[in-house]
Structures are given as C-alpha cells and as structure tokens.
Copies of this chain bind each other. A is one copy, B any other.
Amino acid sequence: MELYVERGFDETTVAEIAKRAGLTERTFFRHFADKREVLFAGAAMLQDLFVGAVTDAPADVPPVDAAMAGVVAGGAVIQERPAFSRQRYEIIAANAELQERELIKLASLSAALAGALRRRGVPDHAASLAAEVAIAVFKIAFERWVSDPVHLDLPQLMRASLDELRTVTADSETGGPAATRP
C-alpha cells in the first residue's frame, strides 16, 4: 500500500511489495491472486458483514432499514482503519482500472444485499431497490467520510445520507411516497 502511494500502482511490482512486507513472492501469491487483490482483499469480509447484519435484523424491520443495517455494520469496521481507508481511496482514485474494480465490488455488494433481503421474504424488485439505495448511501457517505476520516463518523454519515435521500426523493411534485397518497 505504501509503495502504491510512493510510486504509483502501475509502477509497483509484486517483487517490491513482497520485499517491503518481508515475504517471498511465492508467499505473496499464496495470499493474493495479483497486486490488485492487496486492495480488494477486504471485499469478502465486507460482504459477510453486510449479509450477516441483514440476516440478523429483526423480522419486522423494513427492507431499506435491514439493508442499511448491513452497510452501517460495514462502515463501523471500515472506520477502524482511517489511514488505510484514506490511502486505499487515493490509490484507487488515481487509477482507472482500479476504479472499475471498485465499481464491480460495489455491484457485487449490492447483489449480495439484495440476495440477503430476498431470503428475508422481501419481493425481488423491492429487494433490488432497497439494496441499490443502501449502496448509494454507502458510496456517498464513504466519499464524504474519507475527506476527513479521523474526525468524521462513517455510520453517522450513512444515516444522515439516508435521511437526505428520503428528503430528496419525497420532496417532489408527485407529493411523496405513493403509499401515503390519499
């Protein structure tokens, strides 16, 4: 990670990363498929956190709140490593290929959230929408948080973003949620 910051992602070799970490290249490749995976090794854990929190949410919690429980659980763990998260964000922001990989990660997380919601009995379409909303909140709150990860609170920013999303979607010509129309 430090090497990516110092020299740029494309210019860093696996040999250099392994050396800095005190590993042989062979040991490196036992842990990571390639040098991108150093940055995305946490994705599986994040997905487990998301899915676990959705599964554990009480049965009467509505879909978006269950999905939010997932991303907030992930946010709480991400927040424990502010320096890592900031560095990782900057490395990815500087490299188009890594940005693509990050988009794929978010799409997978959204699909995993939707799957966990469907297993709670949420209908297909509502599950996809709730998952997309939670991922949008996750993404936008993360981008805000990472600008000052030492002082800002990520789970709190996520809740604030959901509130703002509700305001933005409800504050509309059509008079708000269809369900509450007279």
Residues of A at under 8 Å CB distance from B? 61-65, 100, 103-104, 107, 125-126, 128-130, 132-133, 136-137, 139-140, 143-144, 161-174, 176-180
Contacts and interface: CB of A to CB of B under 8 A. Distances in A.
Contact of A133 (B126, B130, B169): B169
Contact of A169 (B100, B140, B169, B171): B169
Copies in the complex: 2
Contacts of A163: 174, 177-178
Contacts of A62: 168, 171-173
Contacts of A161: 125, 129
Given A62-B172, A136-B132, A125 B144 contact: yes
Contacts of A171: 62-64, 177, 179
Contact of A140 (B61, B132, B180): B132
19 contacts: A61-B173, A62-B171, A63-B168, A65-B173, A103-B103, A125-B140, A125-B161, A128-B140, A129-B164, A129-B165, A129-B168, A132-B140, A133-B168, A165-B169, A166-B176, A166-B177, A170-B176, A170-B177, A170-B180
